[in-house]
Amino acid sequence: MVAVRAVVIVVLAEIGLHAFGREFFLSPGLGGRHSSLLLSFFHWDSAHYQTIALHGYDQRPLTAFFPLYPLMIRALHWVGVPGPDAALALSWAATVAAAAVLVHLARDCFGLERWSAVVVLALWSPASFFFFTGYPEPFELLLLAVVLAFVASRRFAAAAVAAGVASALAPFGAFFVVPVVVGMVQAHLAGPRDHPGRTIGRLGARLAGAVVVSEIGVAAYSAYLWAAFGSPTTFISSQSGWNRVLTYPLHSLIWPIVRTLSGQLIGDPRYNANVVTTDAIDIAVALAAIAAFVVLVVAVVRHGGRSSVLLPGTVLLGLTLLFELSDAPAGGVSPEALARHFAVVVPVFVAGASIRRSESLAGLVAVSAVLGAVAQIFYFHGMWFT
């Protein structure tokens, strides 16, 4: 499945490289315009990861990008693999590993009959092409699947370690502690009740230890920022440099709908086909994520909150929705690129794969694949806000 998806990615990239009548535009970091197939995999934020790998955090705004992925790229530099090659080698390998872990998670942990559909939906989601570009998203998908698999098998120490690694990869990774904590509380409620006082105290100590381990990556990064920039929360304050700010819930969904319906896109040269398309994909993916959350909540209630292996992932998806849909630009016209962020939320794929009617599931995959192809064409042509 990964091989088929990779071939489609490369074919669309090759077609786009020669079919649009102009060269690809890359972010400043990789320099100017190029017609290289390899460099067409690098736009926008991917250039910043390359800059960090080569030069470190030489600019305060770059601290918004967490260090693990650039460190891995730099490690490959040391053994002679050049920057773009190193980034793609890492991302493609992580995508293969993520697909394998998703199979184990869906088939062995969740017991889904249509376990392969989880992988198909992940690889054909509207922003799945990011798994094959110079971004850390495939590692987020991989680590989240690993965390959920360990939680489902009640191996909480291993889950906390995986969450700790993820917390050094991206801000989203700091939330991976949520399924670890929820799973531990579930296990406690389902366990023996002979000595409740002693058991609760032991649970509290274990929870505290799990939280510390799960956030060790972001804690280490904060310590570095404190020493380098004088503040452990520089990665938060630097968001203002990218026009990001927390606002009211669902802003990231309501804002593009309102500005589209109100006609703001008409007659304003800042709103081009890129903005309109990205808005449309963001709206579709956000609505799909909300629908997936509802499906999972119903499944958890139906199977019982204490025993359902879906509960940790469902809680994480709910918090992800609350955060991602409340994070919006403070100014400008940049869309949210929600599709990129929700591409790594495993419970979305689990909920989609639970659709019983084969034709409905096939339709969902087809719609996702079409949106993914459109999104990839815009991204590989340099027209994508992310």
- Predicted local distance difference test score (pLDDT) of residue 161: 97
Confidence band for 28, pLDDT divided at 50, 70 and 90: very low
Quote the CA–CA distance of 242 and 251 in Å, as a whole number.
Answer: 17
| Phi, psi of 23, deg, nearest 5 | -75, 160
HSE-CB of 377 using CA atoms within 13 angstroms: 15
**pLDDT(264) > 70:** no
Query: Measuring CA to CA, how many Å separate 329 from each of 105, 269, 321?
Result: 35, 19, 16
How many residues are present in the chain?
A: 386
Q: Report how many domains make up the chain.
A: 1
Beta-carbon count within 10 A of 31 CB: 10
Residue at 329 is within a domain:
yes
- Report the distance separating Cα 7 and Cα 238, nearest Å: 37
Residue 83 maps to a domain = yes
Beta-strand runs (E) in the chain: 24-25, 33-34, 244-246, 327-329
Query: 73 in a domain, yes or no?
Result: yes
Percent of the chain with pLDDT over 90: 29
Question: pLDDT tens, 102-112?
Answer: 999 999 988 88
Q: Is the pLDDT of residue 266 over 70?
A: no
Evaluate if residue 252 carries a pLDDT over 80: no
Please tell me the predicted confidence (pLDDT) of residue 330: 47
Q: 246: which strand partners?
A: 327
Using pLDDT thresholds of 50, 70 and 90, give the confidence band for residue 164: very high
Which pLDDT belongs to residue 160? 96
Residue 386 within a domain: no
Q: Which residue has the higher pLDDT, 280 or 290?
A: 290
Residue 336 has pLDDT above 70, yes or no: no
Which residues are bridge partners to 34 per DSSP?
24
Residue matched to tokens 């016209």? 333
Residue 284 is assigned to a structural domain of this protein: yes
- Show the CA angle centred on residue 247, arms to residues 241 and 252, nearest 5°: 90
Q: Is residue 385 included in any domain, yes or no?
A: no
Give the count of beta carbons closer than 10 Å to the beta carbon of residue 16.
19
Q: What is the pLDDT of residues 73-92, one digit of tens each?
A: 999 988 888 778 899 999 99
Cβ proximity of 310 and 303 under 8 Å: yes
Residue 180's domain comprises 2-380
What CA–CA distance (Å, rounded) separates 44 from 65? Answer: 12
Cβ–Cβ under 8 Å, residues 40 and 17: yes
**What is the model's pTM?**
0.88
Lowest mean pLDDT among 29-38, 43-52, 72-81, 144-153: 29-38
Q: What is the pLDDT of residue 30?
A: 47
Residue 256 lies in a domain: yes
